[in-house]
Homo-oligomer: A and B are copies of this chain.
Amino acid sequence: MNINGTPTRTLRAHREQRVIDIIDQTRLPHALHWLRVATLDDAAHAIRAMQVRGAPLIGATAAYGLAIALSSDASSTHLANAGELLRSTRPTAINLHWALARMESVLQPLPAAQRCAAAWQEASAIAEEDVLQNAAIGQHGLALLRQIPHRQAGRLNIMTHCNAGWLATVDWGTALSPVYAAHDAGLAVHVWVSETRPRNQGLLTAWELAQHGVPHTLIADNAAGILLRQGQVDAVIVGADRIAANGDVANKVGTYLKALACADNDVPFYVAAPRSTLDFACPDGAAIPIEERESDEFRRVHGLDARGVPSALQQLPEKEAVANPAFDVTPARLVNAIITERGICSASSRALLALYPEMSAPK
């Protein structure tokens, strides 16, 4: 999508130099800073510290991280160790595992001398496919949005949670791809952007919507319910970190509360995600590991000080105990549809298998 009117991707690969550049998302929305990832440790750190985040972008970054690792040592041992390190960075997003498994299935059979070139090629293919898949999600989602009744005259009101936009992918986004497609097609669309405490990824969503010129309004996470009750929301669209075989959806913590409020107010709740988010090895949401993140995410708040310098404050005494689960699970019964790159389907094992017959049935 656009930054200052210029089409830009979130990840730039420099194959000849064996490095990639990423946007340091921990510095947004206050500064747009590109960061060079030149080593395996750089890549693992970028994912763990959420300099890159969003399931699809984590997958693409991990793939390039493996390519970077093999650039200095293409032995089978290093391939295995690098995969292990990258896999350990974030437990919930399945795309990470998917991308690494795909890389390994290509690389393991090859002689060491061929692995580096193959790794860069495969990582590039993963990134390119992500862009194409997300563009397709946008078009399928747009068809869905065209059918939704407007509760208020003049504009279609979409609510989203966290950031499942351009910044969470290589381009287009998942949940926001239909929004960009609608905006680009001339529909009057407005987005309610949930702040998404404790990491405030809603600020990333607001930033990227502003860059692309899509009207939007930020709200506290707590405000989702009353806006839905007041008829100010026509649909909620979120991304996913993992979708289990039965259609249960793990996504950023707070998603489940929005799905409940949608059901209580007859507003459709949609999940937009590509194939790589599906995990048929997980029978249902209860089997998805939920990442517990460090309490500092909660204790410290960020912004600009009086001189406009990015800064942090301690909002909570150290002695206060904090629980900080990063994800929750929305049961399939609350999901009206899943928007995939192959089309729209209901959140059920049967519907998912009909779209993805090549995936094995749950054991």
**What residues make up the interface of A, taking CB atoms closer than 8 Å to B?**
29, 192, 195-198, 200, 203, 206, 210, 216-227, 229, 252-254, 256-257, 260-261, 264, 290, 298, 300-305, 311-317, 319-325, 327-329
Contacts and interface: CB of A to CB of B under 8 A. Distances in A.
A257 B222 contact: yes
Contacts of A254: 220-223, 225
A115 to B, nearest CB: 40
Contacts of A300: 303
A256 B229 contact: yes
Secondary structure at chain A's binding surface: helix, strand, loop or mixed?
Answer: mixed
Given A256-B229, A301-B303, A315-B203, A221 B223 contact: no
B301 A218 contact: no
B324 A314 contact: no
A225 B329 CA distance: 9
A121 to B, nearest CB: 40
B197 A221 contact: yes
Contacts of A317: 29
A220 B313 contact: no
A304 B311 contact: no
B257 A227 contact: no
Contacts of A260: 225, 257, 260-261, 264
A151 to B, nearest CB: 16
